[in-house]
Amino acid sequence: MGSEALFNSLFDQWAEDYDQAVAGGHPEYIEVFEGYANILKSVVDSLALPKGSVVMEFGVGTGNLTSLLFAEGYRVIGIEPSAAMREKAKAKLPDLELHEGHFLNVPSGLPSVDAIVSTYAFHHLTDEMKDQALRDLVKRLNPGGKIAFADTVFRDEGTKLAMQREAEERGFHELALDLKREYYPVMSRLERAFCQAGLTVRMKQLNRYVWLMVAELNREA
Ligand SMILES: C[S@@+](CC[C@H](N)C(=O)[O-])C[C@H]1O[C@@H](n2cnc3c(N)ncnc32)[C@H](O)[C@@H]1O
């Protein structure tokens, strides 16, 4: 089963309240979304591309990162599997070029791009799917192109288990289930996925959960 089949209904339901959650309105997710605006800005700042550059965004959601990309003067091609999320993004950004699709299913006929970005979405893929997605994505990049993601990553398996336990102990049952059900990677495995796709990745922690990942093609790749 594809990840889109697993998580679409969840995001169709979450679309209505999503912007409240990122603003701190969901008590269990306050730490996950802590510094949300800065997290999105870090992704955009890491690109430093000329105006008019083409950026492909995966898991657009309600269009919050997209708005910042537009403000930088980039052309954005959005990919989003959830119909309800696409509706929200289009309501906010009527001119957005937005396609139904996901990391492993990009509509045909789209141009190559200068950057690929995503926030809070890469963890929907299993480790093996992440490997495949990165191998596919590098083929879409123009020379000198970049990939910039921000998402939950754990330093190691011990930290991941401790954070799951902590969520349970705090009575954060939804978060605890989410941390177990989805495919939050550990750092070494994620670095291997980027490396195997011919990318050099730099990682920086932005809050207790979320890391910025900025990857560029190796020169010999
Ligand atoms: C937590 S929201 C993040 C939305 C937005 N990027 C943000 O930072 O606020 C995750 C988004 O990823 C989308 N998504 C789920 N599975 C995906 C996949 N396999 N590929 C791309 N996007 C996916 C969901 O529909 C949802 O809109």
pLDDT mean values, one per 10 residues, the chain (221 residues): 60 89 96 98 98 98 98 98 96 97 97 98 97 98 97 97 97 96 96 97 98 90 49
How close is the Cα of 76 to the center of ligand 1, in Å? Answer: 16
Nearest CA owner, ligand 1 atom 11: 59
Domain ranges of the chain: 3-217
At 3 the pLDDT is 47
Give the rounded distance of the alpha carbon of 176 from its chain centre. 20
pLDDT tens per residue across span 120-174? 999 999 999 999 999 999 999 999 999 999 999 999 999 999 999 999 999 999 9
Nearest CA owner, ligand 1 atom 14: 59
- Strands 113-119 and 141-152, by their bridges, are parallel
Exposure of 98 in the CB half-sphere (CA atoms within 13 A): 24
Cα gap 140→181, rounded to integer Å: 30
How close is the Cα of 60 to the center of ligand 1, in Å? Answer: 6
How close is the Cα of 206 to the center of ligand 1, in Å? Answer: 19
Mutate to test the pocket of ligand 1, among 4, 34, 41 (most ligand atoms within 8 A of CB): 4
Asked if 209 contacts 32 with a C-beta cutoff of 8 angstroms, the reply is: yes
SS3 216: strand
Nearest CA owner, ligand 1 atom 3: 120
Cα gap 54→118, rounded to integer Å: 14
**Which tokens belong to 165?**
């336990």
User: Measuring from each residue's beta carbon to the nearest atom of ligand 1, which residues come in under 6 Å?
Assistant: 3-4, 7, 11, 22, 58-59, 61, 64-65, 80-82, 85, 102-103, 119-121, 124-125
**Amino acid identity for residue 80 in this structure:** E
At 11 the pLDDT is 81
Cα gap 109→167, rounded to integer Å: 43
List the CATH code of the domain at 3-217: 3.40.50.150
